[in-house]
Amino acid sequence: MSADPAIAPAGTAAGGVDPVHAAAEHLPAPSRVAITDVRPVVDAGRFPVKRVEGDVMVVSAVVCADGHDELRAQVLHRRGDRAWHTAEMQRRPDGRWETEVALTGLGRHQYAVEAWVDEVATWDRTIARKRAAGQDVALDEASRDEAAARPRRQHLVATPALDVVVERTLAGCSSWYEFFPRSTVDGTHRHATLRDAIDRLDQVAAMGFDVVYLPPIHPIGHTFRKGRDNTTVASADDVGSPWAIGDEHGGHDAVHPQLGTREDVRALVRACRERGMELALDVAFQCSHDHPWVREHPEWFHVRADGSIAHAENPPKRYDDIVPLNFDTDDWPALWQALANVVRSWRALGVRTFRVDNPHTKPFAFWEWLIAEMHREDPGVVFLAEAFAPPPVMLHLAKVGFTQSYTHFPWQHAPWQLEQYMRHLVTGEAAEYFRSNAWPQTPDILTEELQQGIRPAFVCRLVLAATLGASYGIYGPAFETMAHEARPGAEEYAHNEKYELRSWPPGEHALTSEITTINRIRRQMRALQHDRSLHFHRCDNDRIVAFSKTAPRRTHGSDPTGDTSDDPVLVIATTDHWSTQAGTVHLDLDALGVPGASGAGTWDDYEAIDLFGGERYRWSGAHNLVILDPNHHPVHVLRLRPANGRTTSSTTDRTNEGVGA
Amino acid sequence: MSADPAIAPAGTAAGGVDPVHAAAEHLPAPSRVAITDVRPVVDAGRFPVKRVEGDVMVVSAVVCADGHDELRAQVLHRRGDRAWHTAEMQRRPDGRWETEVALTGLGRHQYAVEAWVDEVATWDRTIARKRAAGQDVALDEASRDEAAARPRRQHLVATPALDVVVERTLAGCSSWYEFFPRSTVDGTHRHATLRDAIDRLDQVAAMGFDVVYLPPIHPIGHTFRKGRDNTTVASADDVGSPWAIGDEHGGHDAVHPQLGTREDVRALVRACRERGMELALDVAFQCSHDHPWVREHPEWFHVRADGSIAHAENPPKRYDDIVPLNFDTDDWPALWQALANVVRSWRALGVRTFRVDNPHTKPFAFWEWLIAEMHREDPGVVFLAEAFAPPPVMLHLAKVGFTQSYTHFPWQHAPWQLEQYMRHLVTGEAAEYFRSNAWPQTPDILTEELQQGIRPAFVCRLVLAATLGASYGIYGPAFETMAHEARPGAEEYAHNEKYELRSWPPGEHALTSEITTINRIRRQMRALQHDRSLHFHRCDNDRIVAFSKTAPRRTHGSDPTGDTSDDPVLVIATTDHWSTQAGTVHLDLDALGVPGASGAGTWDDYEAIDLFGGERYRWSGAHNLVILDPNHHPVHVLRLRPANGRTTSSTTDRTNEGVGA
């Protein structure tokens, strides 16, 4: 074991100071200043912190020295390899030093902390105190002048640089709409195309979504193709699962011939952009048996003892239509490059956002390299990890670079579950690198709560997802129509669109209005565009959940537009979709902050405007009764502001701010 | 700034994996296993964790990989440069992996975590699940056999080694008794000697103390000697402050001629040892104007503009009798060596414990080097830091190696203060390297609470110190006699022994019995010999404080002796020294653990034996009324055990366990 190269030698004692050696080399005395606990940090700097363009990042540290000298500290900050900038740190009441760094420009930035003794300031303080006590200061003034004559930063010490990856605004706040382009919404029963998908965009944009996400659009394998409802034998007209990628028409860089061409993808990208949205494609690094790579690169797969290629499985579950890639292959460098080229080929058509299928079945090191490579070429690429895995794995994927991550939100039903789960993700170190994207349902997930098929359940889960998460998404047509029939004994949709064409009925769906409203509220209230301020409030009815978010300080020079508000948002929802529930919510007023610094009203008297339901309440103090009738207003999305009408934004007073307005 | 050598380049993206380079070098695929968040750890490994001989250290980490393979992990551990041992880790319910490492042998140990994929176990699990589902396993068995034929730890990864410093038992648990050897306790008024100090040891040992601590025993300077009560001008017979070290008789390695000789120190060391105690000397790295170094090494001091040597000051406060050392001197290596030789010279006489005066006015780097040097020569040397400084400084001194530290305990009066302050030190990362030593008073500190001079205040502060802290101390004679007269307007004793000889009256003092009792209780109850389990319990009377400690698991093979008990200890004290207070204590039963694994009684019915006051109570459940009369029993030190009399130790039932027994 003593020869094990993996064991690095422990740091030498005394931080490496050797006076005997130092005397021989005439080295100066080591610094007397110590800098510890620099924040934010992830795994002691092994992984970068994440932020979003325009964020103001607070950098803080513990700075101390022996004695009573005046200390000074500053943050060094640079974008990429550009010049370093400095920002002086101030000492906080709790003893930590901090400053703010405005993060402008996408990509990797670095920051470090320097600290030193300010001799002149120390002498000045000494002189001032002695003078005040009537003591002689002549000698100290001489020392001060001598120090001022040879200005230097005494005992200067600096920390190693830490990394922060700055991503697009969309990375931190986005609403996703998923649909299968091969299905229709025009009443016809046929295999639709990417051109048909373009025709669906107006409705998606009207609901206010940012991202249109399509499951894999590649050719689908024929061998062991899945049949309807996940049967293992397909009939001749079964379309198969889009995740069984590849056939004679091509693999991951090809488009399913019944969907269209690569040029259609380019057109779809452009059509999204024209409507203020962007297209997200599905990155599923696995193959069907008919994928070209199976023939061209058998070494990229698991070869069994009989020479056959192993299909995917998680025993006793089998996925016969899919063969997983073998990342342990000796040819792994070529495999990695081929996969990177897949992503590049779609980026070449203008796609910058990718939802990654099951990243937890591919090596961490691969993702870390791939995401960094893609970010070197375009720091605005967004990767959403779809990894329903143990929390350490989900967190690790976020550390290695995934921009956003699905979470186990669908299964958090009770208020205590929602609080416990979300709090774990938005506080502590996870808040520095993990961005949750909350989905009430997906093509793979139809929870029992929604299987009940009642409207209040869908409304509550929509609003919870869209307010708990700065990023959220819905599997669109199924959600809008409140589809709720499940495959018996499973948490899966019956007649699952993964295995067959669907024809969603045209026209307004049950929840279009609510979806449109909540997306409009998210655009209006800056508080909902971030997760860090999420705070849960107590309610004496344990069926009711209450939480709030507050808007972070705006960056210098950015003014609130007429359409946005910095007021805090308080969400109160029932988890009882059948009966009315009532209870008193006990607000943590500090967590909510005071709305309006311009001498606005106190918390003794303030307005709670339900932006979702349209009603206005006059509240007083920290304890307020709420009554939630699932059939009327099962959830409130309350904008809080002083009763005198002043707000923190220039928003004009909007009286009718409810559903349908 | 880009040329600033202090800014280390940030880690390369992707943890350094470059497939192009790897392909050229035919490197294997990077490991798929990730190890993060190894604990315990201090500052990401920059500073060592602290433990005590015989401790069982729990090492844990997050271990994960992509996919579903069977993982295995182990801890590597070695003492110094000896061979590495391994201990397999188990996966906990919360997902972390952990194991225990028994720490035997003083000095620096190292530990690291290794993890890998167990191919064979993965195949075994796959085969078992498929068999259970009636699937064909022939090919998997072939793969399994192939893997079993070439056993290897696949995807092996290891963390860098972390350090843990293992110190003597005394380092983790000790009771200190301080007295000035130049004062008398025999009724005479004279300058006493070290030989007289030997005569005092029986009484100190009878009270049950571990450490006898003497303020500096060196020659005292004459120039600007302090007079009584800290006056700046001494009269001819004033003895001066022992901290103004050095005159024509010598400096830090000499003994004050009126106290005795170096041989007397050796005798004192031996006399302590014969009584089961040890001697602690005061390390005060500063000089009087008459110290030999001032003449021999003027460069070791601060020279003012007029050529004079600067005296100590913290403006506007002046310490005219002392000149501080200048650690910024170019001759710092020689200064460091000289100071190390001072400590060595006393260690040569058998002294292994040192109380260090004001370490926060000397550089961190110096202490880090000095303590490590001394520990290289004798890992059992104990250094107690007397640094009443801002918390970051106190914590940093502990990080760089101080074995124990005074704390701001004297000023924590109210229950909420005690809880908030102590919790900060015993939970979180500080618990891994900071060992508090709680003193109710010192020659420098006489708080207003004790200035009242009433017995209940002394009793409560004694018991709080001796139970909150596995290590505690008292400034002996002043405490035993309940001395309480303060210098007007200061938190200092009047007629302070720092500046004059005292003659403490002979015979039993007011608190000898209580001190003896609490020291006996500490020896009996293992729970009180550690700090980590400290837990505060709620009381509905905010004048009452309640906290508990539980005994850690015994190391394999160590049996409880007849005199010690592993039962939990619950301390309940009033902070109202004038009037009776009553309230209900709400116990956190989980934090207390269940006493007795051998089918003992439940918490519905248990005994609370007041080891301090002698009374026995029958308690039931978590909520119990307490009544604390300052003039009768202002504090309970309760041993908790099942009502049927069975205990976790072989202690015989001791009915009369109170003061005076």
Backbone angles phi, psi at B14, to 5 degrees: 65, 25
Backbone angles phi, psi at A108, to 5 degrees: -80, 130
CB contact under 8 A, B160 and A7: yes
Residues in chain A with CB shorter than 8 Å from the CB of B83 are: 1-2
pLDDT tens, residue by residue, B135-181: 999 999 999 999 999 988 999 999 999 999 999 999 999 999 999 99
For residue B475, give both structure tokens.
């400034």
For residue B473, give both structure tokens.
């101390």
CB contact under 8 A, B158 and A86: no
The alpha carbon of residue A173 is apart from the nearest alpha carbon of chain B, in Å, by: 25
pLDDT at A3 over 80: no
C-alpha span between A383 and A373 (Å, rounded): 13
B133 close to A313: Cβ distance less than 8 angstroms: no
Q: Is B161 within 8 Å of chain A by CB?
A: yes
B91 pLDDT band, cuts 50/70/90, is very high
**Close Cβ partners of B93 (under 8 Å, ≥ 6 residues apart):** none
Residues in chain B: 661
CB contact under 8 A, B2 and A95: no
pLDDT at B12 over 80: no
Within 10 angstroms of residue A469's Cβ, the number of other Cβ atoms is: 27
Residues in chain B with CB shorter than 8 Å from the CB of A17 are: 365, 368-369
Q: Averaged over A14-28, what is the pLDDT?
A: 84
Angle subtended by helix axes A262-274 and A194-206, to nearest 10: 10
pLDDT over 70 percentage in chain B: 92
C-alpha span between B261 and B255 (Å, rounded): 6
B340 pLDDT band, cuts 50/70/90, is very high
Q: What are the CA-CA distances from residue B419 to residues A403, A515, B406, B648 (Å)?
A: 41, 49, 17, 28
C-alpha span between A48 and A401 (Å, rounded): 8
Give the catalytic positions of B in this structure: 357, 386
Q: Is A149 within 8 Å of chain B by CB?
A: no
A509/B215: higher pLDDT? B215
pLDDT at B320 over 90: yes
Q: Averaged over B73-101, what is the pLDDT?
A: 96
A630 pLDDT band, cuts 50/70/90, is very high
pLDDT confidence of residue A334: 97
**Residue from B159, B352, B183, B153 nearest B270 by CA:** B352
Give the catalytic positions of A in this structure: 357, 386
Q: What are the CA-CA distances from residue B223 to residues B234, B297, B325, B423 (Å)?
A: 9, 18, 17, 45
For residue A49, give both structure tokens.
């912190």
C-alpha span between B426 and B431 (Å, rounded): 5
H/E element, B640 = strand B635-642
Sequence letter at residue B347: R
Q: Averaged over B625-644, what is the pLDDT?
A: 92
Q: Is A631 within 8 Å of chain B by CB?
A: no
Q: What is the DSSP string of B335-379?
A: HHHHHHHHHHHHHTTT--EEEEE-GGGS-HHHHHHHHHHHHHH-T
Residues in chain B with CB shorter than 8 Å from the CB of A70 are: none
Q: What is the DSSP string of B274-330?
A: HTT-EEEEEE--EE-TT-HHHHH-GGGB-B-TTSPBPPEEETTEEETT-EEB-TTST
A11 pLDDT band, cuts 50/70/90, is very low
* SS3 (DSSP) at A144: helix
Among A192-201, A613-622, B501-510, which range has the highest average pLDDT? A192-201
B14 pLDDT band, cuts 50/70/90, is very low
H/E element, A396 = helix A391-399
pLDDT at A2 over 50: no
**Close Cβ partners of A161 (under 8 Å, ≥ 6 residues apart):** A76, A110, A111, A112, B7, B8, B9, B10
**Close Cβ partners of B508 (under 8 Å, ≥ 6 residues apart):** none
**Residue from B530, B624, B607, B522 nearest B572 by CA:** B624
A639 close to A569: Cβ distance less than 8 angstroms: yes
pLDDT tens, residue by residue, A34-62: 999 999 999 999 999 999 999 999 999 99
C-alpha span between B392 and A94 (Å, rounded): 10
pLDDT over 70 percentage in chain A: 92
A76 close to A114: Cβ distance less than 8 angstroms: yes
A652 pLDDT band, cuts 50/70/90, is very low
Task: State the ipTM, two decimals.
Answer: 0.91
CB contact under 8 A, B4 and A86: no
C-alpha span between B658 and B650 (Å, rounded): 20
Instruction: Decide: residue B653, CB within 10 A, 0-12 exposed, 13-18 middle, 19+ buried.
Output: exposed
CATH tag for B31-118+153-167 (out of 2.60.40.10, 3.40.50.20, 3.30.413.10, 1.10.3720.10): 2.60.40.10
Backbone angles phi, psi at B489, to 5 degrees: 75, 5
The CATH code of domain B529-655 reads 2.60.40.1180
pLDDT confidence of residue A558: 60
Q: Averaged over B250-266, what is the pLDDT?
A: 98
**CATH 3.20.20.80 corresponds to the domain A169-217+255-285+325-524:** yes
Burial B282-303 (b: 16+ CB within 10 A, else e): bbbbbbbbbbbbbeebeebbbe
pLDDT confidence of residue B561: 67
pLDDT at A657 over 60: no
C-alpha span between B442 and B444 (Å, rounded): 5
pLDDT tens, residue by residue, A59-82: 999 999 999 999 999 999 999 999
B13 pLDDT band, cuts 50/70/90, is very low
C-alpha span between B170 and B529 (Å, rounded): 10
Q: Averaged over A15-21, what is the pLDDT?
A: 83
Q: How far apart are the first and last CA of chain B?
A: 71
Q: What is the mean pLDDT of chain A?
A: 91
CB contact under 8 A, A76 and B315: no
Q: Is A28 within 8 Å of chain B by CB?
A: yes
C-alpha span between B8 and B3 (Å, rounded): 10
C-alpha span between A471 and A175 (Å, rounded): 6
Residue of B nearest to A21 (CA): B333
B31, B65, B396: residue with CB nearest A34: B396
The alpha carbon of residue B300 is apart from the nearest alpha carbon of chain A, in Å, by: 13
Backbone angles phi, psi at B196, to 5 degrees: -65, -35
Torsion of CA A385, A387, A388, A390, to 10 degrees: -120
Identify from A7, A94, A163 which residue to disrupt to test chain B contact, counting B C-beta atoms within 10 A and taking the largest count. A7
H/E element, B144 = helix B138-149
Q: Is A627 within 8 Å of chain B by CB?
A: no
Does residue A105 come out as left (phi exceeding 0), alpha (psi in the -120 to 50 range) or beta?
left
Q: Averaged over A551-580, what is the pLDDT?
A: 85
Contact residues, B window 329-388, toward A, CB-based 8 Å cutoff: 329-330, 332-334, 336-337, 359-365, 368-369, 372-373, 376
Question: Strand B278-283 to strand B211-214: parallel, antiparallel, or no bridges (unpaired)?
Answer: parallel
C-alpha span between A537 and A588 (Å, rounded): 6
Q: Which of A554-563, B22-31, B443-452 has the lowest mean pLDDT?
A: A554-563
Q: Averaged over B240-260, what is the pLDDT?
A: 98
Q: Averaged over A524-530, what is the pLDDT?
A: 97
**Close Cβ partners of A240 (under 8 Å, ≥ 6 residues apart):** A220, A221, A222, A225, A226, A234, A321, A499
Q: Averaged over B416-429, what is the pLDDT?
A: 89
CB contact under 8 A, B132 and A316: yes
pLDDT at A10 over 70: no
Residue of A nearest to B161 (CA): A10
pLDDT confidence of residue A376: 97
Q: Is A147 within 8 Å of chain B by CB?
A: no
Q: Averaged over B430-445, what is the pLDDT?
A: 97
Sequence letter at residue B326: N
Torsion sign over Cα B482, B173, B630, B411: positive
Q: What are the CA-CA distances from residue B607 to residues B569, B595, B610, B624 (Å)?
A: 12, 11, 9, 12
CB contact under 8 A, B396 and A114: no
A594 pLDDT band, cuts 50/70/90, is low
pLDDT confidence of residue A121: 96
Q: Which of A527-531, B351-355, B618-622, B625-629 has the lowest mean pLDDT?
A: B618-622
Q: Averaged over B614-620, what is the pLDDT?
A: 91
Torsion of CA B263, B266, B271, B275, to 10 degrees: 170
* SS3 (DSSP) at B157: strand
A469 pLDDT band, cuts 50/70/90, is very high
Backbone angles phi, psi at A584, to 5 degrees: -100, 130
**Residue from B305, B303, B352, B351 nearest B330 by CA:** B303
A418 pLDDT band, cuts 50/70/90, is very high
CB contact under 8 A, B139 and A11: no
| Rg of chain B over all Cα atoms, to the nearest angstrom | 29
| Rg of chain A over all Cα atoms, to the nearest angstrom | 29
Backbone angles phi, psi at A11, to 5 degrees: -55, 145
Paired with A247 in beta bridges are A250
For residue A1, give both structure tokens.
């074991």
B10 pLDDT band, cuts 50/70/90, is very low
The alpha carbon of residue A421 is apart from the nearest alpha carbon of chain B, in Å, by: 14
Q: Which residues in chain A are classed under CATH 2.60.40.10?
A: 31-118+153-167
pLDDT at A360 over 80: yes
Q: Is B149 within 8 Å of chain A by CB?
A: no
pLDDT at A599 over 90: no
Strand arrangement of the beta sheet that strand A56-65 belongs to: A33-39, A56-65, A97-102, A90-91
CB contact under 8 A, B108 and A76: no
Residue of A nearest to B139 (CA): A305
Q: What is the mean pLDDT of chain B?
A: 91
Q: Which residues in chain A are classed under CATH 3.20.20.80?
A: 169-217+255-285+325-524
